[in-house]
A = this chain, B = another copy of it.
Amino acid sequence: MQYTEAQILKVLADVFAQSDSRVIIGIGDDAALVNGSAQQILTTDLAIEGVHFRLDWSSAYEIGKRAAAANIADILSMNGKCDYLLVAAALTGRESIDWIRDLAQGIQDQAVSAGAVVIGGDLSQGEKFSLAITAVGSTDKAIKRSGAKVGDSIFLSSLTGWSAAGLEILTKILNPSGKEVATALNEYRAPTLDLATDFSAATSMSDVSDAIMIQGEQMAHASGVRFEIDCDEIALSEEFKDLSTLASQLGADVWSWILQGGEDHCLLATGTELPGIRIGFVVAGTGIGATRGGAEIKMAPVAWSHFSQD
């Protein structure tokens, strides 16, 4: 270990230094004290090296940005605004102080982009680097997964599949060319949050942390309806052309990326008239299906669960 705990805390205090009138007691006491709100949204995620990210695929900055994004997206998906982040990290002792600074900066930049402030955390040691982030948000009108109504359309805040494309490039050690490559790798390594998309008129909403086919099915189930995804609608979106070009180049199935890929952290919502990409409609029934040219697409089951049954 090339540094003391005090040196790390100093670096973190520098990176996370942010004067914010909402914060009454920040980093340094037993806990943080902040201005609350009437209705508060809370979510937490634990990400572990080798399971949720690989150190040879992502920089410290990207790992921080991505972990923060995953939590902030859960707040956005409830129609909330992210106010605060808490960050607990286990370091192995092999990280350099610059690596730790970059990690913190990734978290900080994502927090600032969402209007949130890092108010505290915990530092410990472990065999694997791991990162547990908690996000705290507020809302005037929470949107659940369960409000989808027959007759609603289904919308995406932006096209899914980019993260899956990036993962495929890294997994298969491919070297495609074109501007789409950077987008795919960036979206895998540090997904962009759709902060500007106004889905406040949605009847139901979730973020696509797993896959459209999983999240959509959960929303359909919670709402007592069926989701029909129309791939012809998706193919009309501007982004689709770029993603499709990349898939052709790699000999990959673009629909598998879009429908079954995870970790894009786009927002999936239902409603009558919403911004973003219209991707289908809500009908009577149960479950979720996807059609292309009027015919149902058969897909292998998505095995995106953290636990596989044997």
Chain A residues with CB under 8 Å of chain B are 1, 3-5, 8, 24-25, 28-48, 50-52, 74-75, 77-78, 80, 84, 86-91, 93, 119-128, 130, 132, 134-139, 142, 144-146, 205-207, 222, 305-310
- B206 near A30 with CB under 8 A, answer yes
Partner of A207, one of B25, B30, B127, B205: B30
Complex A-B: 15 CB contacts under 8 Å: A24-B39, A25-B144, A29-B206, A30-B43, A30-B145, A31-B77, A35-B40, A36-B40, A40-B136, A42-B136, A43-B120, A43-B122, A46-B89, A48-B126, A86-B134
Smallest CB separation, A309 vs chain B (Å): 5
Smallest CB separation, A58 vs chain B (Å): 17
The residues of B that contact A47 with a CB separation of less than 8 Å are 124
The residues of B that contact A120 with a CB separation of less than 8 Å are 42-44
Most chain B CB within 10 A, of A29, A30, A206, is at A30
Smallest CB separation, A4 vs chain B (Å): 5
- A29 near B78 with CB under 8 A, answer yes
Smallest CB separation, A225 vs chain B (Å): 16
Given contacts A31-B43, A33-B41, A78-B29, contact A48 B307 (CB under 8 A): no
A sample of 8 more A-B contacts (CB under 8 A), given A30-B43, A93-B307, is: A33-B39, A35-B40, A42-B119, A42-B134, A46-B46, A48-B90, A86-B134, A90-B130
**Residue of B whose beta carbon sits closest to that of A134:** B134
Partner of A40, one of B34, B46, B52: B34
- A51 near B86 with CB under 8 A, answer no
Partner of A41, one of B28, B31, B46, B137: B31
**Residue of B whose beta carbon sits closest to that of A144:** B29
The residues of B that contact A25 with a CB separation of less than 8 Å are 78, 142, 144
- B8 near A126 with CB under 8 A, answer no
The residues of B that contact A309 with a CB separation of less than 8 Å are 1, 3-4
- A31 near B39 with CB under 8 A, answer no
**Residue of B whose beta carbon sits closest to that of A137:** B31
Q: How far is it, in angstroms, between the C-alpha of A222 and the C-alpha of B27 when the chains are bound? A: 13
Partner of A38, one of B36, B91, B125: B36
Smallest CB separation, A81 vs chain B (Å): 12
- B125 near A307 with CB under 8 A, answer yes
Smallest CB separation, A145 vs chain B (Å): 5
Q: How far is it, in angstroms, between the C-alpha of A206 and the C-alpha of B34 when the chains are bound? A: 18
- A36 near B33 with CB under 8 A, answer no
- B124 near A42 with CB under 8 A, answer no
Q: How far is it, in angstroms, between the C-alpha of A248 and the C-alpha of B158 when the chains are bound? A: 68
- A34 near B44 with CB under 8 A, answer no
The residues of B that contact A84 with a CB separation of less than 8 Å are 42
The residues of B that contact A4 with a CB separation of less than 8 Å are 305, 307, 309
The residues of B that contact A78 with a CB separation of less than 8 Å are 25, 29-31, 33
Smallest CB separation, A307 vs chain B (Å): 4
The residues of B that contact A38 with a CB separation of less than 8 Å are 35-36
